[in-house]
Structure formats: structure tokens, C-alpha cells
Amino acid sequence: MKAVWLAAGAIALSGCSTMNTANDVSRPSAEMFPEMKNMTKHVFYVDPASNEADKRVELVVGKMMETDCNRVSLGGAVTEHTLEGWGYTYYQVDSSAAGGISTLMACPEDMEKVETFVQMPTRDLYRYNSKLPVVVYAPADLDVDIRVWAPEE
């Protein structure tokens, strides 16, 4: 009976690391993920948390564009892939070649265009795991960020 409690205690203590650096030896390096032709590699590290199973990561993909009164979004998709030989997950953004999808409302003639961050509508939430980097490959003209979702206290 004592051995069971000691083992459980060791497992509980091993997950209590508070380091959050890219050089943390407990994390795989982002360098294991190769460069891809015509893609930019974006790497994000999330903070360790006691409730990681309750959290999710959203990918925010978009770019600055000049817009008018119409609603604009980017076409494309995010696909999940596995790093061959390692089993680690990475994401790839495949955007459409078009400049964006827009409504076709007639805007007032005197309305000025404004610079706006136009997003690709991604509705998927991905697993939160502080032990692995979140690696996203996207075309160079797109900006990528992450948003962390967690339940309210």
C-alpha cells in the first residue's frame, strides 16, 4: 500500500514544474519541426497549468487589409498533421489565393477605406499542452497568433 502512495506522489510532483522557456529540457525543441517551402513557421509556448485538460487553444489567422463597409473574411482551412517519426502535432494553414471573401453591399461614396485585421474563420479548438510547442505553418503573408480558452472559475 505504501508503494502505491509513493508512486502517486512522485507522479503528482513531477507535473509541478513552473518553468516556461523555450529552452526547457522537458519540452521538445521547435527545431525538430522542419522548415516548409513557401511557409513561415510560427511557434508558441503555453504556460503550465494545473487544469490543462480544461483549456483549449484557438488559432487566430489573418492579415491586415484595406476594407470598406462590407464584411470581409479570409478563405482557407487549418489542417492538423503529425510530425513523422515523433508523433507530435503541428498545424498547417492552407489559404485561398483570393484576397478575401466579402459581402457586396453598396458603401457610401464618401466612406473611406480603413486598415483592418481580417481573420480566417477557424472554429476549431485544439488541445492545450504546455509540454509541447504549438507549431503552425502558414503562408508568409498571414499573421498567426493563439488565443487560450479556459472555463470561468
130 falls within a domain: yes
Distance of CA 30 to the CA centre of its chain: 14
Do the beta carbons of residue 82 and residue 88 sit within 8 Å? yes
12 falls within a domain: no
Does residue 52 have a pLDDT over 90? yes
User: What span, in angstroms and rounded, lies between the C-alpha atoms of 51 and 32?
Assistant: 27
Q: Where are the alpha helices (DSSP H) in the chain?
A: 2-14
pLDDT tens string 34-45: 899 999 999 999
User: What span, in angstroms and rounded, lies between the C-alpha atoms of 151 and 153?
Assistant: 6
30 falls within a domain: yes
pLDDT tens string 68-82: 999 999 988 999 999
* pTM of this structure: 0.76
Does residue 84 have a pLDDT over 50? yes
Please tell me the total count of domains within the chain. 1
Nearest to 59 by CA among 88, 89, 29, 86: 89
- What local confidence, expressed as pLDDT, does residue 1 receive? 35
Give the residue, 43 or 96, on which the prediction is more confident.
43
User: What span, in angstroms and rounded, lies between the C-alpha atoms of 33 and 136?
Assistant: 10
11 falls within a domain: no
7 falls within a domain: no
Number of C-beta neighbours around residue 135 at 10 A: 20
% of the chain with per-residue pLDDT over 70:
80
- What local confidence, expressed as pLDDT, does residue 98 receive? 65
For the residues 79-98, what does the mean pLDDT come to?
88
Q: Which of 4-8, 83-87, 123-127 has the lowest mean pLDDT?
A: 4-8
We report the CATH number of the domain holding residue 47 as: 2.60.40.550
Domain span holding position 67: 20-149
